Amino acid sequence: MLKKITVHGFKSIERQTIELGALNVLIGANGSGKSNLLSALSFFRASVIGDLDALVKHLGGADRLLFHGKKTTKSCFFCCEQDSFSYEQTLVPVAGDCLAAVGESLSLLEPEGKRYIESWRMYHLHDTSATAAVKSTCNIDDNRYLREDAANLAAYLYWLKLRQPVEYRRIVSIIQLAIPYFEDFVLEPLRRNEQTIRLEWKQRNSDAYFDADSLSDGSLRFVGLTTLLNQPRWAMPGLIVIDEPELGLHPLAIRLLAEMLDVASEQTQILVATQSVTLLDHFPPGQIIVADHDGRGSTFRRLKADDYQVWLENFSVGELWEKNVFGGRP
């Protein structure tokens, strides 16, 4: 488990060190820097696995990535620390508006450390449009891990059903709690091409055909989140990052999501960014990191439970956030 991460000179983050626990709930107003912290983790992982150039180009070039631009910031620095290793890297702008590593240090267990960082997954399950990848067919063997946009959700569920039946039945049972009319998935290779599969399911007391298009946006996201958070322990990423998982979920589904996040954090480390007062109500202050912007850059502060005990006698955590008691106003 990561103990802390340090980011210097990246986007709105000038110099910040954030301590992490097993479950970390990141909150803050729009523009506070939440997304930039998540982006920093993606960026750090990409630099380790060799995808740096493509990501720099995708994010708009070095000048947009460095804090207040290349004229102000000459390099960016990333560091993550764990009990068994630490990894740090310095990147500087080079020709072509790109970034290149000029310093890299990995202490202890080098192969294991790199594999651990490579296992991080950053999930954005926002796209549920008609052309969303999760609604399309996918290769039946695309099941090594659940992709960040859940594009291979059908193939991954099919693998779970065949090889991990305990986890599969748990996933189905939880989905039934949030979607009472859901009975089970129909997971079989497509007859017209047996190397492909798509997400299909059965409704209670109906023999009609249902696929991903038949699920509401919130229901489809909930299916993806339930699969992600209930896969076998050994298949879990080393770090799961989820951006605004509450989108489109009704209050019961949000409560189930909070419970799944709590249980899954016993198996792996989780960082979730949210703007949901309802979701925040399910977590204690000590698990919450508040993002703020001081006019120059982003700051990140973990709450201390003892500071809010008197407040919590009369208000929920979400209500305190709404009242701006600890900053990061929603």
* Model pLDDT, residue 124: 94
* Residue numbers of the domain that contains 210: 128-236
Q: Tokens 């009472």 identify what position?
A: 180
For the chain, what is the domain count? 2
CATH number at residue 86: 3.40.50.300
What is the spatial order of strands in the sheet that 210-211 belongs to?
182-186, 200-203, 210-211
Longest dimension (CA), the chain: 65
Residues 151 and 116 in one domain: no
- Closest C-alpha among 38, 12, 83 to residue 240: 38
Residues 150 and 228 in one domain: yes
Residues 210 and 133 in one domain: yes
* Model pLDDT, residue 48: 85
Residues 64 and 103 in one domain: yes
Residues 112 and 71 in one domain: yes
Residues 255 and 115 in one domain: yes
Which residues, 6+ apart, have CB-to-CB distance to 138 below 8 Å? Answer: 151, 152, 153, 154, 155, 196, 197, 198
Residues 116 and 223 in one domain: no
Residues 96 and 243 in one domain: yes
Residues 148 and 58 in one domain: no
pLDDT in tens, 206-234: 999 999 999 999 999 999 999 999 999 99
Q: Tokens 């439970």 identify what position?
A: 305
Chosen domain end from 236, 263, 293:
236
Burial of 173 (0-12, 13-18, 19+ CB in 10 A): exposed
User: pLDDT in tens for each of the 330 residues of the chain?
Assistant: 899 999 999 999 999 999 999 999 999 999 999 999 999 999 889 888 888 888 899 889 999 999 999 999 999 999 999 887 888 899 999 998 999 888 767 665 567 778 889 999 999 999 999 999 999 999 999 999 999 999 999 999 999 999 999 999 999 999 999 999 999 999 999 999 999 999 999 999 999 999 999 999 999 999 999 999 999 999 999 999 999 999 999 999 999 999 999 999 999 999 999 999 999 999 999 999 999 999 999 999 999 999 999 999 999 999 999 999 998 876
Q: Tokens 């909150």 identify what position?
A: 27
Residues 62 and 5 in one domain: yes
Number of alpha carbons in the 13 Å side-chain half-sphere of residue 36: 27
* Model pLDDT, residue 106: 62
Residues 247 and 314 in one domain: yes
Chosen domain end from 236, 265, 282:
236
CA–CA distances in Å: residue 229 to residues 104, 188, 199, 261: 33, 23, 18, 7
- Which residue(s) pair with 107 in the sheet? 86
- Which residue(s) pair with 23 in the sheet? 270
Tell me if 192 sits within 8 A of 214, measured CB to CB.
Answer: no
Which residues, 6+ apart, have CB-to-CB distance to 281 below 8 Å? Answer: 316, 317, 318, 319
Burial of 183 (0-12, 13-18, 19+ CB in 10 A): middle
Rounded distance, CA 90 to CA 63, Å? 16
Considering the entire predicted model, what is its pTM?
Answer: 0.94
